[in-house]
Amino acid sequence: MANVAVIGAQWGDEGKGKVVDWLASRADIVVRFQGGHNAGHTLVVGDTTYKLSLLPSGVVRGKLGIIGNGVVLDPDALLSEIEKVRKQGLDVGPHNLRVADNVPLILPLHPALDRARESARGEDKIGTTGRGIGPAYEDKVGRRAIRLCDLAEPETLSAKLDELLLHHNSLLRGLGSPEFEKQALLDGLLALAPKLLPYAEPVWERLDQARKDGKRVLFEGAQAVMLDVDHGTYPYVTSSNTVAGNAAAGAGVGPDAIGLVLGIAKAYATRVGSGPFPSELFDETGRQLGERGREFGTVTGRPRRCGWFDAAMVRQAVKIGGVNGLVLTKLDVLDGLKELKICVGYRVDGAVLKHLPAAMKAQAKAEPIYEVMDGWSDSTRGARSYAELPAQAVKYVRRIEELVEAPVMMLSTSPDRDDTIALKDPFAG
């Protein structure tokens, strides 16, 4: 059986949580391979709503969850999340959650630096969550990160903190922010060691054995392709590679293990924070989409900007992300709209482009070119087969397939896990 990787095909918040939950019920192992607790998935199971940031979604279904080395891990955030879901009745512990022993850690100094730099940017702020994700990834690439395995070696930990503080305190001092003392950080990490180390292991070995045993593995992405640090709307991006290709490096498997790649996209578009958004709506329709779709960030609670479906951007995500098929979510939010628009390209300084340009000023100037379609009056909410959809809704989905050059393999028509139209079993390969 094939493995499956799930990534966002827009700017995140596409409803990956529900889709991953649906797929997790069919998987044996679920792996988070990038990002940190700046991303969130909302899972609705019966009458219970789970809001996850670090835990792989499979733990809700009693599956083995793995946090890969491509993640940056805030120890306090992880332990807090485990405690929260335990209070909701979930059994989470080292028996069903494993963490890569080489995963980099987010320390208290990382969010402090994150917030100080955002404040210094003023009106030019990027719109980070302030949770230290970027600075932690910088330390990883700068070869000064504290990793989970270091907690087992106090002398290594002490020496690494010296180098880390030399770097970070200089930056904090320059920004006029309080500096950090080594002993407090060292004591805090040593206190966390016995709580975290039972989860640690070389997860690449477990995943290699899973491959030999024919287990189904689901690679769970965070954020989305247009927030990828290389391929997104730079610098208004996250600090990791969000494309499916990073699932291999971020989990410790070969590229052939990734399997089928599903790209998640809403039937419209949303974005949280700063950055270009060519199809953004500032009118009553935009407000209506936000209210109907309950568009608030899972982690931050920030209201999401709303706009029309951008097929040019999703096509770009399909090509860059290696997407084999789309999962279209929140189709029901469009119910009752008389007219729908799809962005099919951009006009920049008089030139017509079918892709979003890389340069900042060009992105800011990009004017959407729209294709207009009739909407539908009947409800799509809760539909579980194409036969239950209005003809115009089917036409809208088919047109999206043509424009993004990828088939829609699954369609979500409500937050409920079972309100899903599956045209193909992704694990069938």
pLDDT digits (tens, 9 = 90+) for 25-74: 899 999 999 999 987 777 777 788 888 999 998 898 899 999 999 999 99
Q: CA 50, CA 279: separation in Å to the nearest integer?
A: 31
Q: Is pLDDT of 123 > 90?
A: no
Which has more pLDDT, 355 or 423? Answer: 355
Q: Is pLDDT of 101 > 90?
A: yes
pLDDT in the model for residue 298: 61
Q: CA 80, CA 295: separation in Å to the nearest integer?
A: 25
Percent of the chain, pLDDT > 90?
79
Q: Which of 33, 25, 32 is nearest to 62 (CA)?
A: 25
Q: Is pLDDT of 147 > 90?
A: yes
Q: Mapping DSSP to helix (H, G, I), strand (E, B) and coil, where does residue 19 land?
A: helix
Buried b or exposed e, range 154-177, using 16+ CB within 10 angstroms: eeebbebbeebbebbbebbeeeeb
Q: Give the position of tokens 């892709």.
A: 355
Q: Which of 218, 192, 228, 222 is nearest to 105 (CA)?
A: 192
On average, the pLDDT of the chain sits at 93
Burial class (CB in 10 A: 0-12, 13-18, 19+), 352: exposed
pLDDT in the model for residue 303: 85
Catalytic residue among 13, 114, 310, 419: 13
Tokens of 61: 């279904």
pLDDT in the model for residue 408: 96
Q: Is pLDDT of 200 > 90?
A: yes
Q: Which segment of 16-20, 28-32, 130-134, 403-407 scores lowest on mean pLDDT?
A: 16-20
Q: Is pLDDT of 300 > 70?
A: no
Q: Is pLDDT of 1 > 60?
A: no
Catalytic residue among 37, 41, 110, 231: 41
The band of 149, judged by pLDDT with boundaries at 50, 70 and 90, is very high
Backbone angles phi, psi at 88, to 5 degrees: -90, 5
pLDDT in the model for residue 297: 67
Tokens of 50: 């789970």
Q: Is pLDDT of 267 > 80?
A: yes
The band of 246, judged by pLDDT with boundaries at 50, 70 and 90, is very high
Cα torsion 110, 115, 120, 126 to 10°: value is 100
For residues 19 and 262, the answer to whether their CB atoms sit within 8 Å is yes
- Is 13 a known active-site residue? yes
pLDDT in the model for residue 165: 96
- Is 41 a known active-site residue? yes
pLDDT digits (tens, 9 = 90+) for 357-373: 999 999 999 999 999 99
pLDDT in the model for residue 225: 97
The band of 229, judged by pLDDT with boundaries at 50, 70 and 90, is very high
Q: CA 216, CA 427: separation in Å to the nearest integer?
A: 7
Helix (H) or strand (E) holding 201: strand 200-201
pLDDT in the model for residue 153: 97
DSSP code at position 253:
-
For residues 334 and 383, the answer to whether their CB atoms sit within 8 Å is no
The band of 277, judged by pLDDT with boundaries at 50, 70 and 90, is very high
The band of 273, judged by pLDDT with boundaries at 50, 70 and 90, is confident
Q: Which segment of 52-61, 387-396, 402-411 scores lowest on mean pLDDT?
A: 52-61
Q: Is pLDDT of 317 > 90?
A: yes
Average pLDDT over residues 134-158: 97
